[in-house]
Amino acid sequence: MDKKIGFIGCGNMGKAILGGIINSGKIALDNIFVSTRSKESKLKIEDEFKVKASLDNNEVTAFSDILFLAVKPNMFKDVLNEIKDSINKDTLVVSIAAGVTVKDIEDILGTDKKIVRTMPNTPALVGEAMSAVCFNKNLNDKEREDIFSIFNMFGKYEILEEKYFHGFIALCGSSPAYVFMFIEAMADAAVKLGIPRNKAYKMAEQSILGSAKLALETGKHPGELKDMVCSPGGTTIEAVIELENSGFRSSVIKALEKCAEKSENM
């Protein structure tokens, strides 16, 4: 793709997307430009990713055909006001800020600008993100396809109405943290059972990866796949019953509801 990609802000999520795009090999490094808040972070970005970086948000904005706004929500409006006069009318402005709506962005940049609201997650860094994407009315079909091409570089995406983004944040945006907690818990149990910790982590991680891939590639209902593992009177059903007795499902559901509630109130 021969597009110039800019990033304003490059925290954990911005780095994950940037790294995923670079790892795809589909964008030339000369076509990527990042702005950071400090000289120290600028040097780190240049050293780690081998791309151009600047302390000037407007310089990156003017450079970009597709501009990722990867700053914290509490800084978002200040950054928009800073760069609004540098945005070209054809620039695709991509926001990854939780709690910032398309209308919020249009209120500052103008209703004529091309706005994309999205919520990726950190597996972007290894090309396995799950992202939600929605658009304002100003993007044409080719521009939407360009966005899809970018998001395919670091994972999968779904077009989702903006009103469902709070649920998506709970389900996908925050879920890597839940999965990492699950990996830790599985590994702790394995260590208790005598398995060395370094082996326990690797085995837990591969088991989760393989299970997710099995569900994705077979298309079978998760309940059906669970039943395939649970032999009558066997070991797995004992673990499943204990998880049910401990409120495993209800805990997950309540956690996602709390996450979505927080997103709504931001």
The CATH number covering residue 201 comes to: 1.10.3730.10
Ligand-binding annotation for 73, yes or no, is yes
Q: What angle do CA 122, 123, 124 make, to 5 degrees?
A: 80
Separation of alpha carbons 9 and 29, rounded Å: 17
Whether 167 maps to a domain, the answer reads no
Is 172 among the annotated ligand-binding positions? no
The pTM score is 0.89
Q: Domain containing 186: what range?
A: 173-265
Q: What is the pLDDT along the chain (266 residues), one digit of tens a residue?
A: 899 999 999 888 899 999 999 999 999 999 999 999 999 999 999 999 999 999 999 999 999 999 999 998 889 999 999 999 999 889 999 999 988 999 999 999 999 999 999 999 999 989 999 999 999 999 999 999 999 999 999 999 999 999 999 999 999 999 999 999 999 999 999 999 999 999 999 999 999 999 999 999 999 999 999 999 999 999 999 999 999 999 999 999 999 999 999 998 87
Beta carbons of 138 and 157 less than 8 angstroms apart: no
Question: Same domain for 127 and 240?
Answer: no
- 245 among the known binding-site residues? no
186/69 same-domain check: no
- Mark whether 150 and 30 lie in a shared domain: yes
136 shares its domain with 222: no
35: alpha, beta or left, given left = phi > 0 and alpha = psi -120 to 50?
beta
Instruction: Return the CATH number at 37.
Output: 3.40.50.720
Q: Are 158 and 133 in contact (CB under 8 A)?
A: yes
pLDDT given at position 73: 85
Whether residue 150 sits in one domain with residue 178 = no
Say if residue 21 is in the same domain as residue 152: yes
- Whole-angstrom CA distances from 190 to 110, 195, 215 are 55, 5, 24
139 and 33 fall within a common domain: yes
Is 122 marked as a binding-site residue? no
Nearest residue to 124 via CA among 44, 13, 226 = 13
> Do 23 and 143 reside in the same domain of the chain?
yes
Judge whether 168 lies within some domain.
no
Domain-ending residue, one of 126, 142, 162: 162
Same domain, 142 and 181: no
**Do 136 and 260 belong to one domain?**
no
Rounded Cα–Cα distance for residues 163 and 210 (Å):
32
Q: Is 113 found in the same domain as 230?
A: no
Tell me if 8 is assigned to a ligand binding site.
Answer: yes
Asked whether residue 10 is marked as a ligand-binding residue, the answer is yes
72 known member of a binding site: yes
| Total of domains in the chain | 2
> Is 123 flagged in the annotation as binding?
no
Which residue has 């000369």 as its token pair? 30
- 102 and 218 together in one domain: no
Domain final residue pick, 113, 130, 162? 162
